Amino acid sequence: MNRLVAIRSQESFCRERAALDFDRRVFWLAQAEEWEQRALDEIAHHFRECNLAHGDLRPVAS
């Protein structure tokens, strides 16, 4: 989950820049959206991995 924290940090940085850099606001907001999507992808990947790991522990029906 450290990776998710780093991704969210980048997203936050871009949003802060968007608030301060009026000339490039659109650019920074677009960058923030890209980082947000990466965060969502990372979360989805994490849950897929967890589900696979827990799927191996289920008892086999006879």
In a domain, 26, yes or no: yes
Q: Determine the pLDDT at residue 58.
A: 56
In the numeric block, which tokens belong to residue 29? 């907001």
User: Residue 43 carries which DSSP code?
Assistant: H
Number of domains in the chain: 1
Domain that holds residue 35: 2-55
In a domain, 62, yes or no: no
CA distance 16 to 7: 14
In a domain, 61, yes or no: no
| Max CA distance (Å), the chain | 66
In a domain, 51, yes or no: yes
Q: Determine the pLDDT at residue 53.
A: 79
In a domain, 35, yes or no: yes
Q: Determine the pLDDT at residue 17.
A: 98
Q: Could you tell me the pTM of the whole model?
A: 0.76
Going residue by residue through the chain, which has 62 residues, state the pLDDT in tens, using 9 for 90 and above: 799 999 999 999 999 999 999 999 999 999 999 999 999 999 999 999 888 877 755 555 65
* Alpha helices (H) in 1-62, listed in sequence order: 2-20, 25-55
In a domain, 60, yes or no: no
Distances (CA, A) of 40 to 35, 55, 56, 57: 9, 22, 25, 26
In a domain, 47, yes or no: yes
